[in-house]
Amino acid sequence: MKIYKKQYFFREIIFMIIAMGAGTLFHFIYEWSGCHPLAGLFAPVNESTWEHLKMLFFPVLLLTVPEYFWCARKAEGFLFSRTVGIGCGLAFIVIFYYTYTGILGTHYLWLDIADFLLGVFITYFITYLLFTRKKTGSHRLDFICTCLLLITAVLFFCFTWNPPAINLFLSPDTATPI
């Protein structure tokens, strides 16, 4: 198992770097597509915190598919670990952003970038810790985690075009949802 942990550790680092790069590219996909609505489902359509969470969620979700097939056959608990990791990464981005902008009174691009990169790091770090320490997997738990990830994706789709009128969904530049 020690060799497996080492291999898994390096694989997680590679996937984390890919997720960071893909998430950065996702920031521009909507604009590059000519504001195509389909691109807007997966990429930020404005500068709101909610829309920027897509930069973590969708690249990591896409990378989870091949990783699941590599890991799930060897040990249980991967989907649970990844779902918790994604939840922690998303929560970190929101908490860090509103904490630092609340303290400083404004947002800074370099802190926004650091926020995203740390969110991705936390996602993969939590996944690694949970997956290598305690096996808490089962087919039922895999099903529940798959449902939670799908529900999250559907919420991103729905709230992209019909956002609630709360700060999480408002673009700080225009104070409007879209």
Q: What is the pLDDT of residues 103-140, one digit of tens each?
A: 999 989 999 999 999 999 999 999 999 888 866 667 78
Kindly state the tokens that stand for 31: 């604009």
77 pLDDT band, cuts 50/70/90, is: confident
Predicted model pTM: 0.91
CA distance 83 to 73: 18
78 pLDDT band, cuts 50/70/90, is: confident
The residue count for the chain:
178
Helix residue ranges, H only, 33-108: 37-42, 49-71, 78-104
What pLDDT shows up at residue 163? 92
Contact 81, 146 (CB under 8 A): no
Q: What is the overall mean pLDDT for the chain?
A: 90
Residue 30 in this model has a pLDDT that exceeds 90: yes
CA distance 95 to 75: 32
**Integer CA distances (angstroms), 61 to 20, 140, 149, 170, 177, in order:** 13, 19, 8, 24, 25
What pLDDT shows up at residue 145? 92
CA distance 161 to 177: 9
75 pLDDT band, cuts 50/70/90, is: low
